[in-house]
Structure 1
Amino acid sequence: MSSIKVKGAQLHKKGCRFTVWAPHADEVYVVGTFNGWDKTAHPMTGRKNGEWVADIAGAKAGNEYRYRILNGDQELMRIDPRARRVTDSTGNAIIRDPKSIAGMVPFTPPPMNEMIIYELHIGTFGKEEGEDGPGTLSGAIRHLPYLCELGVNVIEIMPLAEFAGGYSWGYNPAHIFAVESDYGRPREFRKFVDEAHKLGLSVVVDVVYNHFGPDDLQLWQFDGWSKNDMGGIYFYNDWRAKTPWGHTRPDYGRPQVRDFIRDNALMWLCEYSVDGLRWDMTSYIRNVHGRDGDTGSDIHEGWTLMQEITHEIRKQRPGAINI
């Protein structure tokens, strides 16, 4: 059973419970299709730990929503950082029905010494002749038998968390809990995993935790607070923020950010039943400059976060691939 923290939008029989971390907010509201986008209809209750909570009767799967965050004279309309589905990288969060991805096809990955790995980009591999736009998960499913003919037994999917625009390799994640909307819905990724398993193919997902964004990054100064005009609560706000991709390195020392990354890793494994994770550029998680032997630039909490997540993966999903 997954031990993912219960945050974001959680459906129940009478509606939906919303939880968001915004420690510097003065007021927070949930606005969406369930209240006609009324800015004041559903205020959230603040907790001492910086979280805000609201339970909204009648909210249901498929409803779109945002958080309205007030901080001084700032009014911020934010997409839920833990949204499992979004309209697009700059649009709205969508309440996802967990039943839409329920169930699993029993599967055991091949031994490590027998793995033949194929790195796959959904936007390219899932492209159908004559169709506009990037490839899709549905298109990729139709091409899976080709991989079997090649003799492949493990698929490593390049990052498929929601990114800016429709065309990307995926190493610019904007919303790490949401499946890229141009590729398809969460249930279509679940179907991709199940169909791959039926054909004897393991599925490994590429995850990016050394930086977020930098484009379409709703996490940036999420609740209106920042230091040194940097990223705010989800990021380092000093020299440690710098990466080759922008000043958007997550703050691995904040417990809430550690939970955010940990829960995301477990989401792919426990909710979508993928067989493993491939971590992108871990050298930039453990060292500001991505170097070995540069102890003055080491990020100790980055090291410990990776260790803790690895331990949790072994506990939650024994035998999962962790690259």
Structure 2
Amino acid sequence: MDRKFEWGAEQVAPGRWSFALWSPDAEKVEAEVDGRRVAMPAGPDGWHIGEAEAKAGDTYRLIVDGRAIPDPASRAQAGDVHAASVLVDPSFDFSPWDGRPWEESVIFELHIGLFTPEGTFASAAKRLPDLAALGVTVIEVMPVGQFPGSRGWGYDGVLPWAPHPSYGTPEDFRAFVDAAHQAGISVILDVVYNHFGPDGAWIGQVTPSFFDPEIKTPWGAAIAFDQPAVRRFFIGNALHWLQEYNLDGFRFDAVDQIRDKIEPEFLVELAQAIRGGGFDRPIHLTTEDNRNIIRLHDPDAGLYDGEWNDDYHHCIHVLLTGETYDYYASFGPSPFDDLCLSLECGYVEQGQPRPPQKTGRGERSCDLPWHAFVNFNQNHDQTGNRAKGERLLALADPDAVKVVHALLLLGPFIPLIFMGEESGETAPFQFFADFEGELAEATRKGRYAEFPGVKEFPDPISKDT
């Protein structure tokens, strides 16, 4: 029986599993399954593949030139990001589900760990009927791929195939998706394909070729998307979530930081692979892209359904709060006129001069359909990346917030609301991570350095403390 995906551990016959790792720099690779060593001989193009008798629930590690590591494509972990990986049965008895068309999407963004007091898939599933009654048709789940520690945003994950055990098991996540479908709600997952987190990214230790040191991102060396095996890691990851968890699509984080040197570009190949996956339900693909480009969302291309529209948010935010620092600066002079342009064309910044920017940003977007834009007044970024994590209701006149909330929901674009917004929540939502030691200190100082001169820090602490 053939493997479904090129990376990781898969059951290829009853009681028999195949283990695969791409590591062209490694001389010797083995799988250690419940204490038994299994050879993974080198094959073509840097692949190491071996088979062993095993069963779902068994733990294993990969031994790469004598170093024991979790599987970079682990489907589950026995503990933290440095622990042994677990063999996972991919089967689940999902309820019948035909999906929902993109044009009727009303998106609710949530963080599994904070959506309920328990912070689990199981407890979140119990809230789904309430969201359906509210009018939500799509849930966007912030990243669940395993990250260091027991709590975090999810955007510093290092094991993107494995649901974080703090939220529950793979079976629990599948049950959550199934419960959403039974409530008539689609589920899209936020995934991070532009970088790995700083702790537990063993892939960089045993497969340096996975990264391109000549291309820099805000998080270090860029992922080497010109390597076919690297592309297959992420394409396989997306197909795995769709096939084995019955998800309805994705929000791809910060795709402007995905750099490659070959054609078709990775984002095109990724969408084409998903569109060609033979799914019997609509699959919704959305992006976050700071470039304000239009080629990925041209309906004739048949690639991506929607783009997170930060421009719309910036108009609303400046209009209601008067804040014009940092990326709000170009929206300061005429926020109302900008809002009118956004309501007409989606993007505000379409390549025209926008002081204080030195060069224009974006492309003309007036010909894109309205449903190509995901609009929001708040989201995890625009609250959590504030120094104190304030929500819009804590910054602006409550009556004005009600007006823009109605505008969001009644407009022709795809609306997204951030958890708590539906009930007027004012509790802050800040960036958080469960790092320790020097990494925790470096993260604290790094986050502080992102807010130079921000009025929210009238008595700033020393960067050296």
Flag whether TM exceeds 0.5 (same fold): yes
SS at match of 1:167: coil
Distance in 2, Cα, partners of 1:13 & 1:44: 20
Residue of structure 1 aligned with 2:200, choices 196, 206, 216 = 216
Counterpart position of 1:320 = 283
Distance in 2, Cα, partners of 1:170 & 1:216: 14
Counterpart position of 2:388 = none
* 1:26/1:63 CA distance change after superposition, 3 Å: same
Q: Is the 8 A contact 1:83 1:93 kept in 2?
A: yes
Counterpart position of 1:310 = 271
Shift of residue 19, structure 1, vs aligned partner: 1.6
Tell me, yes or no, if structure 1 residue 126 matches structure 2 residue 116.
yes
Counterpart position of 2:60 = 65
State the one-letter code of the partner of 1:254: Q
Higher RCO, Cα 8 Å, sep 6+: 1
Tell me, yes or no, if structure 1 residue 81 matches structure 2 residue 72.
yes
SS at match of 2:224: coil
Q: Which ranges in structure 1 are unaligned for 5 or more consecutive residues?
A: 36-40, 129-134, 224-231, 287-298
Shift of residue 6, structure 1, vs aligned partner: 4.0
Distance in 2, Cα, partners of 1:322 & 1:89: 28
* 1:281/1:30 CA distance change after superposition, 3 Å: same
* 1:9/1:115 CA distance change after superposition, 3 Å: same
* 1:206/1:301 CA distance change after superposition, 3 Å: farther
Distance in 2, Cα, partners of 1:235 & 1:20: 15
Shift of residue 48, structure 1, vs aligned partner: 2.8
Q: Is the 8 A contact 1:234 1:250 kept in 2?
A: yes
Tell me, yes or no, if structure 1 residue 236 matches structure 2 residue 217.
no
Aligned identity (percent) is 36
Q: Which ranges in structure 2 are unaligned for 5 or more consecutive residues?
A: 287-465
* 1:150/1:66 CA distance change after superposition, 3 Å: same
Q: Is the 8 A contact 2:3 2:10 kept in 1?
A: no
Q: Is the 8 A contact 1:126 1:137 kept in 2?
A: no
CA deviations 1:125-157 (Å, max 9, x no partner) are: 1323xxxxxx11111111212212321111000
Shift of residue 17, structure 1, vs aligned partner: 1.9
SS at match of 1:98: coil
Distance in 2, Cα, partners of 1:56 & 1:201: 40
**Higher share of residues assigned helix:** 2
Tell me, yes or no, if structure 1 residue 56 matches structure 2 residue 57.
no
Shift of residue 309, structure 1, vs aligned partner: 1.1
Distance in 2, Cα, partners of 1:301 & 1:186: 35
Counterpart position of 1:292 = none
Distance in 2, Cα, partners of 1:43 & 1:262: 26
* 1:302/1:93 CA distance change after superposition, 3 Å: farther
* 1:258/1:118 CA distance change after superposition, 3 Å: same
SS at match of 1:138: helix
Shift of residue 310, structure 1, vs aligned partner: 0.8
SS at match of 2:205: coil
Residue of structure 2 aligned with 1:272, choices 245, 259, 283 = 245
Shift of residue 303, structure 1, vs aligned partner: 6.7
Distance in 1, Cα, partners of 2:136 & 2:221: 36
Q: Is the 8 A contact 2:136 2:185 kept in 1?
A: yes
Residue of structure 1 aligned with 2:123, choices 135, 139, 142 = 139
CA deviations 1:181-235 (Å, max 9, x no partner) are: 1111111111001000000011000011111112221112224xxxxxxxx1211
Tell me, yes or no, if structure 1 residue 98 matches structure 2 residue 90.
yes
Distance in 2, Cα, partners of 1:204 & 1:163: 19
Tell me, yes or no, if structure 1 residue 110 matches structure 2 residue 105.
no
Counterpart position of 2:8 = 8
Distance in 2, Cα, partners of 1:90 & 1:157: 25
Shift of residue 78, structure 1, vs aligned partner: 1.5
CA deviations 1:264-284 (Å, max 9, x no partner) are: 111111211111111111111
CA deviations 1:96-143 (Å, max 9, x no partner) are: 1123xx332222333333211000100001323xxxxxx111111112
Shift of residue 34, structure 1, vs aligned partner: 4.8
Shift of residue 300, structure 1, vs aligned partner: 4.1
Counterpart position of 1:25 = 26
* 1:258/1:6 CA distance change after superposition, 3 Å: closer
RMSD: 2.0
Greater Cα offset, 144-153 or 178-187: 144-153
Tell me, yes or no, if structure 1 residue 189 matches structure 2 residue 189.
no
Residue of structure 1 aligned with 2:138, choices 144, 148, 154 = 154
Q: Is the 8 A contact 1:243 1:284 kept in 2?
A: yes
Which entry has the higher C-alpha Rg, 1 or 2?
2
